[in-house]
């Protein structure tokens, strides 16, 4: 096969992929999925204090699938954590607010009335886990994590209006109460010279019941998954800490937090 024929073949494949992507419906997700679940810090077994409070602020972004639309938001978070021999528990609350955004260089164009929609809300998070200690590291083998969030604002009203139009090319979830649950595994360790300097990696896998069904349309197309995967990195330097995370259902979320523990 000549180079010319090979180039034509690749070009045809690229065009078909582009046409396929363009034929996908536009999905409008609630604000919370992907950002409701978050890393909850906990004292290590080697810490002098086994009960600590954590406060932080976060910046986050959710990219809506198959579109150029997204959601920018900020969070305020508070949690309290307890560590006993081989067990730890954390619980807390959060609030968030944000607005819709568009990146014109990506995906399909968004409806003009998508611009300028705002949202706000709050929720609760919990984590219960089992761990083992090995040297200066702690293997948090398995944790059960949950998040419940409520949303309101003009973005929720916009999704309800889109749903009522019954347009097969625009599919919107009207859910404003979101619950996500799942399991996580983590490794955390402290510096040998300073036990107050700590670092951790965590992976979470769970799902958001009802999200998939809320995006079902009359043509019975469901492209969105209910499953959620979250990767987080945690670091603590004395009493200050930071958390970076990437998660996704179908929309990809990213979040960065800075906080203080006492």
Residues 91 and 119: their CA atoms lie apart, in Å, by 24
Instruction: Give CA angle at 76 (70, 77), nearest 5°.
Output: 115
The model's pTM: 0.84
pLDDT of res. 115: 86
What integer pLDDT is reported at residue 53 of this predicted model?
Answer: 98
* CATH topology for the 26-261 domain: Lipocalin (2.40.128)
Query: What pLDDT is recorded for position 220?
Result: 58
pLDDT of residue 107: 54
| Structure confidence at residue 221 (pLDDT) | 60
CB-CB contact of 77 with 256 (8 Å): no
CA angle, 111 as apex, 246 and 168 as ends, to 5°? 90
Averaged in consecutive runs of 10 residues, what is the pLDDT profile of the chain (262 residues)?
Answer: 48 41 74 92 94 97 86 97 96 97 68 88 98 94 97 95 85 93 97 94 95 74 75 97 87 92 96
Domain limits, the chain: 26-261
Separation between Cα atoms, residue 129 and residue 261, nearest integer Å: 20
Rounded Cα distance between 253 and 35, Å, is 7
CA–CA separation, 140 and 45 (whole Å): 11
For position 91, what pLDDT does the model report?
98
Residue 25 DSSP symbol: P
Cα 259 to its chain centre, rounded Å, is: 18
């Amino acid at each position: 096969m000549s180079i010319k024929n090979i180039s034509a073949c690749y070009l045809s494949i690229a065009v078909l992929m582009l046409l396929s992507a363009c034929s996908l419906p536009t999905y409008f997700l609630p604000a919370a999925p992907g950002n409701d679940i978050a890393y909850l810090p906990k004292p290590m077994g080697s810490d002098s204090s086994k009960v600590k409070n954590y406060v932080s602020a976060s910046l986050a972004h959710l990219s809506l699938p198959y579109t150029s639309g997204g959601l920018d938001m900020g969070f305020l978070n508070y949690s309290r954590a307890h560590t006993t021999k081989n067990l730890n528990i954390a619980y807390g609350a959060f609030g968030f607010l944000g607005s819709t955004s568009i990146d014109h260089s990506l995906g399909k164009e968004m409806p003009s009335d998508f611009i300028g929609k705002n949202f706000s809300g709050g929720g609760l998070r919990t984590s219960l886990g089992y761990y083992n200690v090995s040297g200066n590291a702690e293997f948090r083998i398995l944790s059960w994590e949950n998040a419940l969030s409520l949303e309101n604002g003009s973005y929720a009203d916009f999704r309800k209006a889109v749903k009522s139009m019954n347009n097969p090319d625009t599919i919107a979830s009207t859910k404003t109460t979101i619950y996500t649950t799942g399991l996580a595994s983590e490794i955390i360790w402290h510096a040998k010279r300073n036990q107050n300097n700590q670092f951790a990696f965590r992976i979470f896998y769970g799902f958001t019941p009802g999200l998939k069904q809320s995006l079902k349309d009359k043509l019975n197309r469901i492209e969105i998954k209910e499953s959620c995967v979250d990767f987080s990195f945690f670091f603590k330097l004395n009493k200050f800490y930071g958390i970076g995370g990437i998660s996704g259902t179908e929309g990809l979320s990213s979040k960065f937090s800075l906080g203080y523990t006492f």
